Amino acid sequence: MLALIGSVFLFAACVSVPAYQSGTPALLDPMAISSLKIGETTKSQILERFGHPAMKVTDKSEAGEFEVWSYSFMRSAEMSVTPFGTSAGEPAKIKTLGVRFSPDGILRGITEAENPIPLVVPITQP
């Protein structure tokens, strides 16, 4: 009986935390990004593939005036917490895409970055 009660408390103490995501999931599709062609792809084609950007800015330089759109996607890690420790599934990540357009609405530049986020930070003992 005591073992049964202990098992109930042990399973009750297990918690699963699902992954959270936000942003533009299309950034995870390598074909969507590789299909972008500098000098050919238009603003409307970018909108069709990725939707509305998270941010739009105008970049004025000696080379001219460009509109820059930014997209991002963030996914947290799924974790399981038990009395014996924490385990994680796929690691968390952030992916960003920046696209730069000339005044005629044609793609002139692409910036892409992907950064896995470490789940566990080592703790040093004194």
pTM for the model:
0.68
Which pLDDT does position 82 carry in this prediction? 61
Of 19, 20, 30, the residue nearest 97 (C-alpha): 30
Confidence of residue 2 (pLDDT cuts 50, 70, 90): very low
Taking 50 as the threshold, does the pLDDT of residue 121 lie above it?
no
Which pLDDT does position 37 carry in this prediction? 96
Contact 12, 75 (CB under 8 A): no
pLDDT in tens, 4-31: 444 444 444 556 666 667 788 898 888 9
Tokens for 50, please give them.
């990725």
Which pLDDT does position 54 carry in this prediction? 93
**Mean pLDDT taken over the chain:** 77
Burial of 101 (0-12, 13-18, 19+ CB in 10 A): buried
With pLDDT > 90 as the criterion, what percentage of the chain qualifies? 39
